[in-house]
């Protein structure tokens, strides 16, 4: 698996201007890039534009309108049936507020099974069920959760179920948009463990996250967006030490405060300090 993003400009479908532009990075198997930045910076648009049809959330699609992205050599911009089929085998996309976006009419078991059935209608249902059981167990939910519907779960349980679905295909590329946002701290631990295990097993990941503890521990390369432009790019530890943009300086201040997580909505000053 490789992901090459070259001077990419992305736009929400129907929007007049780009949501993010000038983004470049490349990823090989086992590598991680984290995307950071204040609210409205274009982080979600970037991930969505790379998701190759794997977004189940019903949110507006974003498209590439400049530059290029290649997943394992195949262009994302002119992706056809072949690339979408490939994506069904290789790419997992975890949308923002993934738990809240679970389809209300499906049991968790059906929701988890969907990506495997979508790519092979004749898939062995027993094997799919076993896989669902392993995935639900990996996120710390009981097997009985598989027969429940989203309305019967807590917010944290729903987010765990969404993460379990992302695990179902054993993705080679994970695109995760704020996987730990708005849920209880225990979900943060689950995400950290799964990310570490996945990366060690050769999964590549692009993650929108402000979990400084996790990202420093993973020695993540970070791209900071602000109002659609790249304002910093490099290893997180270096960016925090430099505090080169107001947003980073604000994050660095927070990282010094024991275990505190930044509030990217700006209530703690991060968004305001970034000039928003």
Ligand X SMILES: Nc1ncnc2c1ncn2[C@@H]1O[C@H](COP(=O)(O)OP(=O)(O)OP(=O)(O)O)[C@@H](O)[C@H]1O
Residues in the chain: 276
**CB closer to ligand X out of 41 and 204:** 41
- Contact between 60 and ligand X (CB under 6 A)? yes
Q: Cβ closer to ligand X: 31 or 226? A: 226
Q: Decide whether 37 or 198 has the Cβ nearer to ligand X.
A: 37
Among 9, 54, 96, 157, binds ligand X (CB under 6 A): 96
Scan for tokens 């997180």, then name that residue: 236
Q: Does 182 bind ligand X (CB under 6 A)?
A: no
Q: How far is CA 159 from CA 11, 55, 201, 217, in A?
A: 27, 15, 23, 23
Report how many residues bind ligand X under the rule CB under 6 A.
14
> What values do phi and psi take at 242, rounded to 5?
-75, -35
Q: Which is nearer to ligand X, 21 or 255 (CB)?
A: 21
Of 47 and 71, which has the nearer Cβ to ligand X?
47
What whole-number distance in Å separates Cα of residue 173 and Cα of residue 186? 24
Considering only residues 1, 15, 74, 114, which one is a binding residue for ligand X as defined by CB under 6 A? 15
Smallest distance, ligand X to C-beta of residue 201, A: 28
CB of 97 to ligand X, least distance (A): 9
State which residue, 57 or 113, has the beta carbon closest to ligand X: 57
Q: Would you count residue 93 as binding ligand X (CB under 6 A)?
A: no
Q: Does 264 bind ligand X (CB under 6 A)?
A: yes
- Cα gap 50→70, rounded to integer Å: 9
What x/- string results for residues 18 through 57 when contact with ligand X is judged by CB under 6 A?
Answer: -x-----------------x-xxxxxxx------------
250 belongs to the binding site for ligand X (CB under 6 A): no
Residue nearest to ligand X (CB): 44
Residue 180 CB, nearest approach to ligand X (Å): 13
The distance of closest approach from Cβ of residue 261 to ligand X in the complex, given in angstroms and rounded to an integer, is: 14
Q: Which is nearer to ligand X, 96 or 113 (CB)?
A: 96
Question: Which residues lie near ligand X (CB under 6 A)?
Answer: 12, 15, 19, 37, 39-45, 60, 96, 264
């Amino acid at each position: 698996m490789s992901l090459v993003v070259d001077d990419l400009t992305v736009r929400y479908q129907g929007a007049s201007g780009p949501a993010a532009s000038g983004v470049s990075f490349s990823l090989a198997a086992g590598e991680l890039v984290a995307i950071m930045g204040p609210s409205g910076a274009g982080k979600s648009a970037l991930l969505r534009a790379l998701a190759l049809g794997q977004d189940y959330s019903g949110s507006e699609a974003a498209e590439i309108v400049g530059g290029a992205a290649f997943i394992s050599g195949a262009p994302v911009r002119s992706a056809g049936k072949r690339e979408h089929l490939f994506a069904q085998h290789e790419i997992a996309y975890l949308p923002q507020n993934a738990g809240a976006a679970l389809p209300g009419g499906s049991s968790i078991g059906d929701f988890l099974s969907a990506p495997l059935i979508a790519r092979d209608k004749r898939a062995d249902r027993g094997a799919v069920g076993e896989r669902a059981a392993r995935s639900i167990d990996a996120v710390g939910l009981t097997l009985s959760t598989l027969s429940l519907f989203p309305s019967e779960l807590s917010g944290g349980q729903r987010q765990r179920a969404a993460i379990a679905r992302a695990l179902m295909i054993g993705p080679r590329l994970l695109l995760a948009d704020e996987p730990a946002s708005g849920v209880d701290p225990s979900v943060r631990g689950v995400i950290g463990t799964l990310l570490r295990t996945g990366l060690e097993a050769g999964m590549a990941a692009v993650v929108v996250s402000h979990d400084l503890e996790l990202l420093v521990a993973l020695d993540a390369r970070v791209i900071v967006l602000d109002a659609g432009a790249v304002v910093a790019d490099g290893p997180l530890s270096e960016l925090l030490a430099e505090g080169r943009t107001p947003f980073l300086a604000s994050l660095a201040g927070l990282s010094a405060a024991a275990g505190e997580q930044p509030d990217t909505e700006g209530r703690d000053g991060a968004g305001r300090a970034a000039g928003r």
